[in-house]
Amino acid sequence: MDLPQPSPTPLDLICPAGSLPALKEAVNHGASAVYLGMRDATNARNFAGLNFDEAAMAAGVSYAHARGCQVFMALNTYPQASQPERWQRAMDQAVNVGVDAIILADPGLMRYANQRHPRLRLHLSVQGSATNHDAIHFYHRQFGISRAVLPRVLSLDQVRQVVQKTPVEIEVFGFGSLCVMVEGRCALSSYVTGESPNTHGVCSPAKAVRWQETPQGLESRLNGVLIDRYGPGESAGYPTLCKGRFDVEDDENYYAIEEPTSLNTLTLLPQLHQMGVKAIKLEGRQRSPAYVAQVTRVWREAIDECMAQPQHYTPRGSWMASLDQVAEGQQHTLGAYHRPWK
């Protein structure tokens, strides 16, 4: 039986913060909440030069809270048997500096949170791969999660069904990089590098990345595997196996697994709001503070306009152009939300 649905409430805007400058840009341009991670394998964007230590996180929490913005910490990789204390310590540090919620996927960490920090708000990470209401109910009953972030593999109708059948707040991705896998179950990076993003915190670890100028063009390799080759003047992307170009039959070369493009759901805002989605999440903790400022500004304007006039809302051309400037491949898609064959 479907649960009775409350009247739609304003959409929260959840923005990425890969650094303290990025956090400040998100807060200054209208984020409802920012999400960040520690400078280690406990979060799934463990790139060199990014993320927070405890002092920087405390400064970020203070800055955000003073301006009415919440802070969530992503503790969204899976603890290893040899050192679960690292993940537990990261949670303790986050609680000490006053974060508003922890985004996590591992049931063991959820149990630790319930026992050690019973009043801590828990959000189920997209890494938990919960794609139906029964899975979300399990985490809600067992560990008291109050929000779930849905993987980017559901159609709009499937999202609606999940929202209707669970009391847990639902957060969906609105803009940013796509993943060809169901989040939480990617094996491509570990296939090539031996390190899973779900345990080491990064897809395509920097130590495995190599660039080389050759007579055929600039080549990018991942642990020795040729991922892509770029011609003169062609923009080169960071090498990930899923978005490489490969020779397939009769020497045809193309993006055989996934073409670089960004999810952009500006056109779906009224529908997402009406069906009861609680929050829109922007991807990009690995991106620059300038990127964070640009996408946060656009989405803040769009959400405010949609809330004010949902019946007359139409995305502005300037918003779309601004987002396409920072999109992968400078193009966008509705991804799995739009499935014309269904």
Give residue-wise pLDDT tens across range 281-299: 999 998 999 999 999 999 9
Distances from the Cα of 74 to the Cαs of 5, 100, 232, in angstroms?
29, 11, 39
Q: 52-61, 242-251, 269-278: which range is least confident on average?
A: 242-251
As a whole number of angstroms, the distance between CA 101 and CA 148 comes to 12
> Mean pLDDT for the chain?
90
The 8 Å CB, 24+ separation contacts for 201-204 are: 201/37, 201/40, 201/41, 201/42, 201/43, 201/44, 201/45, 201/46, 201/77, 202/41, 202/44, 202/45, 202/46, 202/47, 203/240, 204/238, 204/239, 204/240, 204/241
Give the residue-averaged pLDDT of 177-190: 74
How high is the pLDDT of residue 49?
83
Instruction: Give the pLDDT band of residue 3 (cuts 50, 70, 90).
Output: low
Instruction: Give the pLDDT band of residue 273 (cuts 50, 70, 90).
Output: very high
Give the residue-averaged pLDDT of 258-271: 88
To the nearest whole percent, how much of the chain has pLDDT over 70?
Answer: 95
| pLDDT value at 153 more than 70 | yes
How high is the pLDDT of residue 316?
95
| pLDDT value at 59 more than 50 | yes
How high is the pLDDT of residue 233?
83
How high is the pLDDT of residue 67?
98
Range of 63-72, 217-226, 260-269 with top mean pLDDT:
63-72
| pLDDT value at 2 more than 60 | no
Give the residue-averaged pLDDT of 110-133: 95
- Strands 217-222, 209-214: pairing is antiparallel
As a whole number of angstroms, the distance between CA 100 and CA 258 comes to 35
Q: How does pLDDT run across 241-256, given as a tens digit for each residue? A: 888 888 888 778 888 8
| pLDDT value at 139 more than 90 | yes
How high is the pLDDT of residue 115?
98
As a whole number of angstroms, the distance between CA 136 and CA 131 comes to 8
CA neighbor of 152 nearest in space, from 169, 135, 175:
175
Give the residue-averaged pLDDT of 17-22: 96
Which is higher by pLDDT, 207 or 173?
173
| pLDDT value at 199 more than 80 | no
| pLDDT value at 31 more than 60 | yes
Give the residue-averaged pLDDT of 102-126: 97
Tokens of 283: 């991807």
| pLDDT value at 8 more than 70 | no
Q: 48-52, 55-59, 208-212, 233-237: which range is least confident on average?
A: 233-237
Angle in degrees, CA 174, 144, 132, rounded to 5 = 50
How high is the pLDDT of residue 15?
98
Domains belonging to the chain, first-starting first, are 12-179+261-337 (3.20.20.70), 198-255 (no CATH)
| pLDDT value at 340 more than 70 | no
Q: At what angle do helices 107-116 and 133-143 cross, to 10 degrees?
A: 30
How high is the pLDDT of residue 7?
47
Residues constituting the chain: 342
